[in-house]
Amino acid sequence: MSKLLRRSVLTLALLGLGVAAASAQTVDEIKKRGVVRIGVLSELPPWGFLDASGNLAGYDVDVGKLIAEKLGVKPEFVGMTVAARIAQVMTGKVDMLLATMGMYPDRAKVVQFTEPYAGLKIIMLAKKSQKIEKLEDAANLRIGVTRGSAQDTAITAGLPKTADIRRFDDDSAAIQGLITGQVDAIGANTTYMININKVMPNNDFEPKLTFNEQWMGVATKPGQKQLNEWLNGFIDEIKANGQLEAISQKWIGQPLPQFPASVPGVPYTVQ
């Protein structure tokens, strides 16, 4: 279990999971309330970000709107950082997370995932002139990562403790660190280049390494069997009717990937 996850578990224990009872346990409770509270990232376009009008927008937000529409309730989006995601759902601040939540075994010990609704690759970005053919080539570089992210875990595990790993609070800050030269390379995902290309069309950055393919599922508190089953059925529906494909094309400019039937160590259903 990662150090970050251990800290999250300890924090939740200190808070007392009794507060989690404040969040909806069933689909019927959400419908009765008339609002579904959805946690999304607020600093990671095209997944979740504040648009020019100050409203949350992005891939995850559009999926959340479809969830609310299917439930017949209003969506209430709660913007958050990567590091705060799990605590927000476990303490009942939100009913579910659509917050680029990578499906990893450590996380699956704390939250319940659905089947995947999105995917990306976890990579390293640097200038084209920077020679990085394997992770060890970056051992003496300044490496930026978003605190608590999958790339933080991968890079921290693969480099010696003496490595200069600089942690940023959100993805935008990590990208800015690379652009301004605060760091030589960053742990990233494949949509980072979309954001960099928007602000620097003729930039000199490129992917160097691919750590893994990451699948994202909707995350809820453990044990919410009815809600989990409903969400899995919903994802199947929007995949089949083309709505999820349209969201992927709108925000990423790519067709949906072939989602895996299973992710090792991550159950899609309540056991």
Please report whether residue 66 resides in a domain: yes
In DSSP terms, 116 is beta-bridged to 217
Strand-by-strand arrangement of the 35-41 sheet: 74-80, 35-41, 96-97, 205-220, 112-127, 185-189, 142-146, 164-168
Domain that holds residue 201: 121-212
pTM: 0.83
State the Cα–Cα distance between residues 48 and 60, nearest whole angstrom.
Answer: 6
Kindly state the tokens that stand for 33.
Answer: 């309330």
For β-strands 112-127 and 205-220, DSSP reports them as antiparallel
Contact call for residues 122 and 43 (beta carbons, < 8 A): no
Residues 222, 103, single domain; the answer is: yes
Task: Return the axis-axis angle of helices 59-71 and 243-251, rounded to nearest 10°.
Answer: 150
70's tokens = 């299917």
Predicted confidence (pLDDT) per residue in 160-193, tens digit: 999 999 999 989 999 999 999 999 999 999 899 9
Q: How confident is the model at residue 24 (pLDDT cuts 50, 70, 90)?
A: low
Residues 96 and 220 reside in one and the same domain: yes
Residue 16 pLDDT grade (very low, low, confident, very high; cuts 50, 70, 90): very low
Domain-located, residue 164: yes
Let me know whether 16 and 134 are in one domain: no
Whole-number pLDDT of residue 238: 98
Domain match, 111 and 204 both: no
Structure confidence by residue, pLDDT tens digits, 52-95: 999 999 999 999 999 999 999 999 999 998 889 999 999 999 99
Domain boundary among 212, 239, 261: 212
Residues 231 and 180 occupy one common structural domain: no
Pairing mode of beta strands 56-57, 48-50: antiparallel
Total number of domains in the chain: 2
Asked if residue 150 and residue 107 are part of one domain, the reply reads: no
HSE-up of residue 217 (Cα within 13 Å, Cβ side) = 29
Q: Are residues 196 and 67 in the same domain?
A: no
How far is it, in rounded angstroms, from Cα 186 to Cα 207?
A: 10
Name the β-bridge partners of 76: 37
259 within a domain of the structure (yes/no): no
Per residue in 207-228, pLDDT (tens digit) is 999 999 999 999 999 999 999 9
Kindly report the CATH number assigned to the domain that includes residue 226. Answer: 3.40.190.10
Using DSSP's 3-state secondary structure scheme, residue 256 falls into coil
State mean pLDDT over 232-257.
97
Residue 169 counted as domain residue: yes
- Does residue 115 share a domain with residue 19? yes
CB 95 within 8 A of CB 37: yes
In-domain check, residue 268: no
CA distances from 59 to 119, 186, 216 (A): 11, 23, 12
Secondary structure of the chain: what % helix, strand, coil (to 5)?
A: 40, 25, 35
